Structure 1
Amino acid sequence: MNQLTTILAAKPLKIIECNMACLFDYDVPSDCPEWFWVKSNSSFKRNDNFEGGVWDFILNLAVDFSDIPLTLLPLFDSAKAADIDYILFHQGC
C-alpha cells in the first residue's frame, strides 16, 4: 500500500473550534490567562502573525492535560465525551 492510500484509508479525525472572544472578555489575548495556557499546551501554534496579531492554536485531545483551567474544563470534558480529536482555539478573526 502506498502512502496516499494509507492516508486515505485512515479514520477521519474530528476537530471543533472555540472562539475565545466569545468565552472571555479581554483586549489582547496575552492578557487572558486561558490564552496563555492554550498557547503553552498547543500542538500547533500560530500567533502574532499579520498586522492584527491573529492567534490560532490547536490542542490534541490525545494528550493528558492535567492542569486545564477550570473555565475551559467543561469544553474539554464535552469534547472528549463526543470523541473529538482536536480543538482549534482562535479569536474570531
Structure 2
Amino acid sequence: MNTANPQLEGLYLAVAAINRLLVAKGLATHQDIHHALQGAEQTVLSDAGQLTISASHQKAVAFPIRFLMLANEMAEKGGDCQFEPLAREIGRRT
C-alpha cells in the first residue's frame, strides 16, 4: 500500500476489529463474515460495469475486501492482524 494512504490502513484495521467484535459477541461467525466479504469480492470482480476499467483497477478495488477476508481468516486461527504482513500475503495470492 502506498504510504500516502495511512487513513485507509487505519480504516481496514478498524473494520477488521469490528468484525472480530461481532464474532466475539456471537452476532456473526467467521464463516458469516467470510461469506459476506466473498459476495462483495465477487460483485467487484464480475460487475459488467467494470469492463471499462483495467484489471489493476479491479484488483485495487478488491484489495480492502481481500484484506478483511484475510484478517478474518487470521482471527479465526488466533493470529495477529497487522497491516504489512496481511498486505504482503494478499500480493502473493493474487
TM-score, length of structure 1 as denominator length: 0.29
Point out which structure has higher relative CO (alpha carbons under 8 A, 6+ apart).
Answer: 1
Q: Which protein has the bigger strand share? A: 1
Q: Which protein has the bigger helix share? A: 2
TM-score, length of structure 2 as denominator length: 0.29
In our comparison, the structure showing a higher alpha carbon Rg is 1
